Amino acid sequence: MSSLPPVLKAPPFEIASGSFPTFFIKPETGLSSLALRELWEYRELLYFLTWRDLKVRYKQTVLGAAWAIIQPFFMMVVFTLFFGRLAQIPSDGIPYPVFVYCALLPWQLFAHSLTESSNSLVANERLITKVYFPRLVIPISAVLGGLIDFSIAFVILLLMMVYYGIRPSWAVVTLPAFVLLAMVTALGVGLWLSALNVKYRDVRYTINFVIQFWLLATPVAYPSSLIPLRWRALYGLNPMAGVVEGFRWALLGKSGGPGALLAVSVVVVILILIGGLYYFRRMEAEFADVI
């Protein structure tokens, strides 16, 4: 059976001589792989989404990036006034303003990254329902976005250290590791919360609440030396305790290595992250239908 008149059509030519990638689309079955390799292939999208968030965040603000400094700076002022001066909370022999600001930096990085990543999936609903890409890109880019603010606020810390004549020891080279730990903590928890947030919108309201509690449980305004020694390692169950103590140790040098506390924190973070990754991947298939 053929047709009349012949339909004009150019002969199809080969687009690429190499083999085509093949995808198999199947129903969701139990545990899926983490597909981290695919994530790597989408690294440019990760970059663009992070860049978009930063650009948009400061586009219509008068003070722009100054906001990155204002928040931790004023928190430092308030903390110094109430906890340092009035409550006379010890600070391991370090001037209280530096002591608290040094902890506020990783804390802000963590709190900001956690909030952003938890809300990230819901905020990017349009993308999720219209385009395919590894969904992990979204919470990861939300966490990365906090890094710029952190870097800006970090400059103030350097100035304060100069002012108080604090010279960091060789331990300062470990600082990036603690920054990473703070971000991974935020990501690990953020993965759980963002995936839960898609299904249960209550999560959005609990985030602020969780962060406030977490701040009190973290040695930001007080040193962890207030905790009895035998409980100290257990305190590391809060990974941010490990991060904050690590920061003080790396930059201010006074409070001895974080040791066992840090080890516990690292283990906890790894567990949260792996759990979060698997939970996220498991829920991923449903995102577009439920969001």
Partner 1 sequence: MSEIAIKCEGLSKQYRIGQQERYRALRDVVTGAAGFPFRRLRSAISSSNGNGNPQSEIRESQYIWALDDLSFEVKPGEVVGVIGRNGAGKSTLLKILSRITKPTKGGAEIHGRVGSLLEVGTGFHPELTGRENIYLNGAILGMRKAEIDRKFDEIVAFAEVEKFIDTPVKRYSSGMHVRLAFAVAAHLQPEILLVDEVLAVGDAAFQKKCLGKMGNVAREGRTILFVSHNMQAMSQLADRCILLADGRARFDGNTAQAVALYLGDETNARTPLGEYAAPKEKAGNHIAWARVHTSESPGIHHWGEPISFEFGLRIVDPQESLCFAFNVRNSFNYNACYFWLFDSETNFGREPGTFVLKCEVPKLRLYMGSYTITAWLSERRGDTYFEMVRDICPFQVSMTNMPRNEYDWIPELSTYLEDGSWAPIERVS
Rule CB under 8 A: say whether 210 interacts with partner 1: no
Rounded to the nearest 10 degrees, what angle do helices 239-251 and 259-290 cross at? 130
> What SS3 state is found at 115?
helix
Query: How far is residue 85's CA from residue 191's CA, in Å, rounded to a whole number?
Result: 39
208 binds partner 1 (CB under 8 A): no
Q: Which long-range contacts (CB under 8 A, 24 or more apart) does 127-136 make?
A: 128/287, 128/288, 128/291, 129/288, 129/291, 133/42, 133/45, 134/35, 134/38, 134/39, 134/42, 135/280, 135/284, 135/287, 136/39, 136/191, 136/277, 136/280, 136/281
Contact window for partner 1 (CB under 8 A) among 26-34, 148-156, 157-165, 259-267: 26-34
Q: Which of 62, 202, 209, 228 binds partner 1 (CB under 8 A)?
A: 202
According to the binding rule CB under 8 A, does residue 6 interact with partner 1? no
- Dihedral of alpha carbons 251, 254, 260, 265, sign: negative
Of 18-26, 70-78, 165-173, 223-231, the segment contacting partner 1 by CB under 8 A is 18-26
Single out the segment in contact with partner 1 by CB under 8 A; choices: 111-119, 130-138, 171-179, 231-239: 130-138
Q: Does 21 bind partner 1 (CB under 8 A)?
A: yes
Write down the least CB distance from residue 43 to partner 1, Å. Answer: 10
Question: Of 2-10, 165-173, 220-228, 256-264, which segment contacts partner 1 by CB under 8 A?
Answer: 2-10
Q: Toward partner 1, which CB reaches closer, 52 or 85?
A: 52
CA dihedral sign, ordered 114, 115, 119, 124: negative
| 231, 179, 249, 264 alpha-carbon torsion, rounded to 10° | 20
Applying CB under 8 A, does 23 fall inside the site for partner 1?
Answer: yes
Q: Establish if 126 lies at the interface with partner 1 (CB under 8 A).
A: yes
The answer to the question of residue 48 lying near partner 1 (CB under 8 A) is: yes
Pick 28 or 257: Cβ nearer partner 1: 28
Cβ atoms 194, 143 nearer than 8 A: no
Number of chain residues interacting with partner 1 (CB under 8 A): 51
Residue ranges in contact with partner 1 by CB under 8 A: 1-5, 7, 9-10, 12-16, 20-28, 44-45, 47-49, 52, 55-56, 59-60, 126-133, 198-203, 285, 288-291
